[in-house]
Amino acid sequence: MNDTHELKTDHHPFEAIRMGYKNFEIRWDDRGFKMDDLLILREWIPIDQAAPGKAGGDYTGRSIHATVTYILRAPKYGLTGKWCVMSINTRPK
């Protein structure tokens, strides 16, 4: 069974995914991510990254839905601990 994971995503990586430049996610593997899981990437603006006069520490309301197409887990290829790299597809199947 495929799971759905809602994940905070900082503005710059969010924009790179939205524009089609970034097609992967590096995450702490504490949720049991699997191939074909759905990621709901919710854009988040940390307090220290908010523009002058703008509030931070909250979601912007924008999100991207992505499907996990491949997972590389530690301890391979320089990954340590419980880190994983997931290839993602933002286009509908």
Q: Scanning the structure block, which residue is given the tokens 């997972």?
A: 71
End-to-end CA distance of the chain: 17
**pLDDT for position 9:** 94
**pLDDT for position 38:** 97
Structural domains of the chain, count: 1
- Is the per-residue pLDDT at 3 higher than 80? yes
**pLDDT for position 70:** 97
Question: pLDDT tens-digit profile of 15-72?
Answer: 999 999 999 999 999 999 999 999 999 998 876 766 666 666 778 899 999 999 999 9
**pLDDT for position 57:** 72
* Residue span of the structural domain in which 43 resides: 4-89
For 68, phi then psi, to 5°, come to: -75, 125
